[in-house]
Amino acid sequence: MANREEWDWALRHGDNHVLATRCFLLRIRLAVLSSVLCVAPLLAINAGESRAAKVVSRPVKLEVPGNAEQMLCDVVPVLDSSGEPRAYFMDVDSVVCAGTKCKAVTVRLHFDALGAYERYELPSGGNLTKFGGKPFSPADHERLHQILSDPYSQLKSIGLNEITAPTSSAVAGGGVDAVTRPTMLSKQSAVVVGAAYTCCTLWQWSHGEVGSVIRDMTVRACDKQDLLRYLRSDKDTYVAFAAEQLRMQDLFDAETIAAVVQVMRHGSAKVINPALDYLAKASSKTRVDHFFCCCDDEYLVADSLKRTRFLEALRETDQKLPLGYLDRLGGWLTRADGYYEVHLLLTLRERENASSEEAVDEALLLLENKDALVVRRSYRYLKALKLSDLQQQKLEAYERQHPD
């Protein structure tokens, strides 16, 4: 950095004062830049260490049929270049035997960042076996992967206490396929034949406590920018997770609200519910209408599934509907796609006692709908109202044409 003599020199040389001052400031800037370059890597290292400290392995206890003790396994995060967990894995023993003739094989189960099973992996040269010591074929491995990929498998209804651990005599020959007979008779299509024990235990371990543990690990590692990246994902599960976490963490700044609105407008109908839950809480916290104004958004109105999700949210919300709000839903009845949407719209109007002349006219048009359920719901709605003379005449004309 410039010293005192240099500064005195600049003051003595008045003619070159401007030039000297510029030189002096340049030296200061170079010194500051040098300091920043030295400190920045240290800050980056500390930030990386801080992130890594949040994403460490976590133990999970797994129940083992035929064994009074639980098996303790580590859930290990796989980090990307920024230190964010992008996946996890857990090593488990595929079979725990009571006799010496059984052989345990380590299986590595891989999960995504939210704890959903992705695939399994065996050590080089290793393989799984079926009843009688037969090795798994490629078709068996494909079938097992399909079984483990199904979170709604029938195996969900099988408790680990119903599974019988294979014994040395059963492996050598005779005995049942590692599951009690009544269970196998009703669940045989849900397993690899001859490997029910392996299928049941691996499925239970892949879809049990590990999922919530992984999700918690990811939550602890995420900051706002991580959640916004998840919000822009092409996976609905990631988008829904991000919207849910943003709501739970009360992140209602303008940037985040705008990002969630984009999800609602351009995302699939599957992520509408968590997006609307977020906007409802954002409205409550900020005192700015982010939720009710959704009905004016053409991107939402044009999609029947999104309209339905929004109407369900309106039905469930504990927030008071703005005065005259249902009048803003004009035209929704005639564009409704099926009975359920019509039912939601009319239920809201009945609950709020808000039946405008336009809404009544739309309900009268629905009397000509091809869906008998839509006609019946509209007729019941109209019969409970006090209609204008013209509207009453139209309803009576319909009754005369359809006396049944």
Q: So what's the pLDDT on residue 70?
A: 84
What does DSSP assign to residue 96?
-
DSSP letter, residue 150: -
Confidence (pTM): 0.76
Burial level of 125, CB count in 10 A (0-12/13-18/19+)?
A: exposed
3-state secondary structure (DSSP) of residue 295: helix
* pLDDT confidence of residue 16: 47
Name the band, by pLDDT with cuts 50, 70 and 90, for residue 274: very high
* More confident site: 52 or 381: 381
Q: Do 372 and 378 form a contact (C-beta atoms < 8 A)? A: no
**58: β partners:** 75
Provide the Cα torsion 179, 203, 76, 96; round to 10°.
10
pLDDT reading at 246 higher than 60:
yes
Contact residues for 71 (Cβ-Cβ < 8 A; gap 6+): 61, 62, 63, 64, 92, 93, 96
Average pLDDT, the chain: 82
Confidence of residue 353 (pLDDT cuts 50, 70, 90): confident
